[in-house]
Amino acid sequence: MWDLIVVGAGISGAGVARDAARRGLTVLVVDAADVAHGTSSRSSRLIHGGVRYLEQGQVGLVYEALRERARLYQAAEHLVEPARFLFPAYRGDRLGPWMLRMGLTLYDALNLFRGEGHDSADAQRCLELEPLLAEEGLRGAVLYEDAVTDDARLTLTVLQDARRHGADVLTYTAAAQLERVPAGIDVHLEGGSVAHAREVVVATGPWTGRALLGAPGTDVVLKSKGVHLVLKAEDVPVQRPVVVQAPGDARRILFVVPWGSRTYVGTTDTPYEGDPASCGVLEQEEIELLETVRRVMPHAGLEPGNIISTWAGVRPLVRPEGAAEESVEVSRKHRIVEGDSGALGLVGGKLTTFRAMAEEVVDAVVDRLRAQWPEDRPTPRACSTADSVLVPCEPLNDEERADGLIADLWGRYGPAARQLAAQARDTPDLEPRIIDDLPYRRVELQHAVDYEGAQHVSDVLRRRIPLALTSRDLGGSVARDVATMLVDARGGRGVEIEDELERYRDEMVRETRRVPRIGAAPSSRAR
């Protein structure tokens, strides 16, 4: 019997598993799909305090998020990169320069004045900082600090730390039903097997509902759709992340974020109904996003034909009591609910605050376990995640910084980049970049299959290495190679390679409306 079963391998579930495993609990994580398959690989890829939440009066949430941002700087140095965001104000915008300055002063105070504080810029300096901005109507801007990340890779790294401390993880293993029994809770898995647990935490994001929580899970989640577009940096050559105010009265802001040789734009914030797995980007959403940003960057290459790829995700917001609100107005706070089986459901929250959310729910789990804790086992330890690193990291030395191979790998793997680089050099076919202007190396494909739990092509090309988001062919140039590695690893047959590729095509079309250009199979294959 497990002390704790966590249903869901997104960032919330990964955080809970890590916290619980580090305290000495036996932990099993199950997910119906891949690690970070849902919201946790479809965010705006930001670790931030949430400037706009101040306007909603959510001071406590902003304070918590800024505290957790500071902790992530230390815990995941290679994955969380500070950046100076530029927030311009134009004539007619809802937030003018003085309101931005006032808000960022409070933002710095809530951050306890750690790091570099905000700075103001008049229109002339704003154009010097970001020449792509429109001059007409520009009133000034503020500069402030937040951070960018790789959301899927962060989730995977958190889960890997949970495994280092004893947690087990089963992906593509759906929990069909939870049943209260005298000794705890039975988790009925699809296929007929049953896993037994003293406690269960349901962290299924936008899939949270009656199926696992019963009546307390009814309508607890308000689903909000977010869309992002990826373009070449040469088409949208921003120097730093730029915040764009959406026109009108809505409190919505967009980000234009440099991403190496790419730039991404997002996000929308609209109510969503239906299965989150079916969420995709609509043509009209692309057009509206481009038009919104073109208003302040009229000379950028913001044309539909320049879009390389897109992604869409569903945020699981805590549904407010009483009348429904627009999703953009709904709090990003989290809530813990108790289901009919006694399982705890973790609902809502933000990528940035996953650690604090996990601490709160594991505290509740430990409190419930105390009454039934075996006398022959050490009592659970206190939470240790606030001051612990995800990956012990020896910084790069000058020689390594100049090494192009290690430099390409470091931002995703941290210190493991050294081992991957050595492996690539031992097998020269693994060393080249997959796409010339992108930092992804062929050695990463094999590493994802052998060591990172990937089972399908999209696990590798969408979440381990984001070629599906950054290459014009959506990773098609290596999709067949990846399918072959996966099928070989599980001892499958040649026909399964085509099944894997068809699955990948379907997933990409559903999310992006684009078809990956996959090379034809060799005319003969010895298998």
HEC profile for 403-442?
A: CHHHHHHHHHHCCHHHHHHHHHHHCHHHCCECCCCCCCEH
Is pLDDT above 80 for 330? no
Domain ranges, ordered by start, for the chain:
2-39+152-220+330-387, 81-149+224-314, 398-512
- Residue (of 479, 486, 477, 472) closest to 506 by Cα position: 479
Q: Is 407 exposed, middle or buried (0-12, 13-18, 19+ CB in 10 A)?
A: middle
Whole-number average pLDDT of the chain: 93
Q: How confident is the model at residue 464 (pLDDT cuts 50, 70, 90)?
A: very high
Is pLDDT above 60 for 50? yes
The pLDDT of residue 39: 96
> Which neighbouring-strand residues pair with 336?
346
Average pLDDT score over residue span 271-281: 93
Is pLDDT above 90 for 452? yes
DSSP letter, residue 329? G
Average pLDDT score over residue span 46-69: 91
Residues 8 and 178: their CA atoms lie apart, in Å, by 14
Residues 90 and 96: their CA atoms lie apart, in Å, by 7
Residues 251, 331: contact at Cβ < 8 Å?
no
Q: Is 168 helix (H, G, I), strand (E, B) or coil?
A: strand
Q: Tell me the per-residue pLDDT of 397-410, one tens digit each, with 9 for 90 and over.
A: 889 989 999 999 99
Residues 18 and 355: their CA atoms lie apart, in Å, by 9
The pLDDT of residue 519: 81
Residues 17, 27: contact at Cβ < 8 Å?
yes
Is pLDDT above 70 for 262? yes
Superfamily of chain region 81-149+224-314: D-Amino Acid Oxidase, subunit A, domain 2 (3.30.9.10)
Q: Tell me the per-residue pLDDT of 466-497, one tens digit each, with 9 for 90 and over.
A: 999 999 999 999 999 999 999 999 998 888 99
The pLDDT of residue 526: 41
Q: Tell me the per-residue pLDDT of 99-123, one tens digit each, with 9 for 90 and over.
A: 999 999 999 999 998 888 999 999 9
Tokens standing for 68?
A: 């957790």
Tokens standing for 213?
A: 């929580």
Helix 442-451 vs helix 416-426: angle between axes, to the nearest 10 degrees? 110
Q: Is 507 helix (H, G, I), strand (E, B) or coil?
A: helix
Average pLDDT score over residue span 11-30: 98
Average pLDDT score over residue span 385-390: 95
Q: Which residue is it, tokens 């869409």?
A: 312
Tokens standing for 518?
A: 């996959």
Q: Give the percent of the chain with pLDDT over 90.
A: 85
Tokens standing for 111?
A: 């951050």
Tokens standing for 157?
A: 């790294």
H-only helix segments in 51-169:
51-55, 59-75, 97-110, 123-129, 151-164
H-only helix segments in 244-397:
283-294, 354-369
Residues 242, 143: contact at Cβ < 8 Å?
no
Q: Which residue is it, tokens 């009229």?
A: 298
Average pLDDT score over residue span 357-385: 94
- Residue (of 358, 318, 322, 362) closest to 58 by Cα position: 318
Tokens standing for 281?
A: 């980007």
Residue 449's CB is within 10 A of a number of other CB atoms, namely 21
Residues 70, 114: contact at Cβ < 8 Å?
yes
Tokens standing for 96?
A: 């003018």
The architecture of the domain spanning 398-512 is Orthogonal Bundle (1.10)
Residue 18's CB is within 10 A of a number of other CB atoms, namely 31
> Which neighbouring-strand residues pair with 144?
85
The pLDDT of residue 227: 97
Q: Tell me the per-residue pLDDT of 140-187, one tens digit each, with 9 for 90 and over.
A: 999 999 999 999 999 999 999 999 999 999 999 999 999 999 999 999
- Residue (of 365, 259, 266) closest to 315 by Cα position: 266
Residues 265 and 243: their CA atoms lie apart, in Å, by 10
Alpha-carbon torsion 75, 263, 223, 328, what sign?
A: positive
2-39+152-220+330-387 and 81-149+224-314 have identical folds: no
Torsion angle, alpha carbons of 368, 374, 378, 384, to 10 = -20
Average pLDDT score over residue span 279-302: 96
Residues 19, 166: contact at Cβ < 8 Å?
no
- Residue (of 505, 504, 483, 506) closest to 495 by Cα position: 483
DSSP letter, residue 36? T
Is pLDDT above 70 for 324? no
Residue 467, Cα to own-chain centre: how many angstroms? Answer: 15
The pLDDT of residue 525: 45
Q: Which H or E run includes 83?
A: strand 81-90
The pLDDT of residue 323: 43
Q: How confident is the model at residue 244 (pLDDT cuts 50, 70, 90)?
A: very high
Q: Give the percent of the chain with pLDDT over 70.
A: 97
Is pLDDT above 70 for 327? no
The CATH class given to the 2-39+152-220+330-387 domain equals alpha beta
486-513: string of b/e by CB count within 10 Å (b at 16+)?
bbeeeebeeebbeebbeebbebbeebbe
